[in-house]
Amino acid sequence: MRGIRKVVVMLTAVFVVVALTASGAFAARVKTSVASAGPGAAAYVIWGGLAALISKDSKTVEMSNLTTRGAVEDIRLVESGKAEFALGVATLLDLAIKGKKMFKKPYTNQCGVGPGTASLFHIGVKKSSGIKTVKELDGKRVSFAKKGSSTHFMTRTVIKLAGIKVREENLGWNVAADAVKDNRLDAFTIPNPVPSPAFVKFATAQPISLLPVEGEILKKMLTMNKAYFPITIPANSYDGQDKPVPTIGYTAWTIAGCKVPADVVYEVTRLNYSAKGKQFLLRVHKGWATGFGIAPALDQMGAINMKIHPGAARYWKEKGHKIPANIQ
């Protein structure tokens, strides 16, 4: 916990430095934004770290971190040009590019930069509740998070596949953690890299249990979207969680609007994946390790029919990677 507090203090300090320098030596830089999530979500910390890195180290680009309702809104903000960069959840990008479900029509302004991390679906309850499976949530009060988030989309899917009915709440993640602690809620969910800030807070307040996503629910979800994959929340990821928990996950990308100038995207990509950038971002949140480990993951980009941004393609070519024809 001490380490996490140090990261928060460090990140806050960086934001202060960025604010002070923005009006000084780097005042003429191109201003951009990255859409991520809200407080309590790992995405807010992860892509907030990217914004801090760019604003701290780039002489040509400045980046701010937008607070949003989550991944669906992020994709829509990029599509409309209201954000230049964003968290791109692979499963939702697949739907957006195809124009399915909540996206209504095919989205054409979604270009890939590179992988950020992997998100693992968390379902948390108080250990004292005795709840051990998703089906045991039948009739309980469950927070799906806010509409427009990947949390809401995935929770609704899991509950439907479990064949149960719950009392839906739409709370922010930190608020939901407090609500479960105070017995105003039975469970809350979030797809997040480990550790999830909201679940760190949750586990610090009382003993918790993480519910597995497995069996028929997992099998059906894997057939619904090729961007999903089975993954395990490691033991001891949170206080008192002494056993690994099987669940479902997906890759979370950094995406850019296809119309964002190539030199801007190149600069962001260059700093993101530089040795110095990696070192900085891993101090912000260790969830970056997954993305760095699989980068550039160009085959995965092609699997969801996402095109690579020309600025990012330039960077990956310089690093010796061949850009597949199907993503150009």
- Name residues whose C-beta falls within 8 Å of residue 50's C-beta, 6 or more positions apart in sequence: 34, 63, 65, 85, 116, 254, 268, 272, 281
| Range scoring the smallest mean pLDDT among 19-33, 78-92, 224-238, 310-324 | 19-33
Q: What is the pLDDT of residue 279?
A: 98
pLDDT at 173 exceeding the cut of 50: yes
Q: Give the model's pLDDT for residue 28.
A: 86
* Average of per-residue pLDDT across 221-234: 91
Choosing from 234, 250, 266, the residue where a domain stops is 250
What confidence tens digit (pLDDT) does each residue in 291-302 have? 999 999 999 999
Asked if 39 and 139 sit in the same domain, the reply is no
Same domain, 95 and 164: no
Residue, of 10 and 70, whose pLDDT is higher:
70
Please determine, for residue 1, whether its predicted confidence score (pLDDT) is greater than 50.
no
Co-location of 107 and 144 in the same domain = no
Q: What is the pTM of this model?
A: 0.78
Kindly state the tokens that stand for 250: 């997906």
Q: Does residue 139 register a pLDDT over 60?
A: yes
Task: State the chain's mean pLDDT as an integer.
Answer: 91
Residue 257 and residue 245 share a domain: no
Based on the domain organization, do 111 and 132 belong to the same domain? no
Domain that holds residue 284: 2-117+253-327
Question: In terms of pLDDT, which residue wins out, 2 or 177?
Answer: 177
**Cα–chain center distance at 18:** 23
What average pLDDT does the segment 261-281 reach? Answer: 98
Do 169 and 200 belong to one domain? yes
Assess whether 229 and 274 both reside in one domain: no
What pLDDT score was predicted for residue 27?
Answer: 57
Say yes or no: 61 and 23 in one domain: yes
pLDDT at 225: 87
17-31, 45-59, 103-117, 265-279: which range is least confident on average? 17-31
Residues 19, 38 within the same domain: yes
Counted domains in the chain: 2
pLDDT of 60 above 70 = yes
Tokens 């979800």: give the residue. Answer: 221
End residue of a domain, out of 197, 223, 250: 250
Do 13 and 83 fall within a single domain?
yes
The confidence band for 40, taking pLDDT boundaries of 50, 70 and 90, is confident
CA distance 153 to 234: 24
Q: Is the same domain home to 288 and 310?
A: yes
Is the pLDDT reported for residue 317 higher than 90? yes
Query: pLDDT tens for residues 194-209?
Result: 999 999 999 999 999 9
What is residue 18's predicted lDDT score, i.e. its pLDDT?
44
CATH number of the domain to which 184 belongs: 3.40.190.10
* CA angle, residues 220, 199, 243, in degrees to nearest 5: 65
Q: What confidence category does residue 149 fall into, taking pLDDT thresholds of 50, 70 and 90?
A: confident
Structural domain ending residue among the three candidates 250, 278, 293 = 250
111 and 124 inside one domain: no
- Separation in Å, CA 138 to CA 3, 6, 327: 37, 39, 43
pLDDT band, very low/low/confident/very high, at 148 (cuts 50, 70, 90): confident
Number of Cβ within 10 Å of residue 189's Cβ equals: 26
State residue 316's pLDDT score: 98
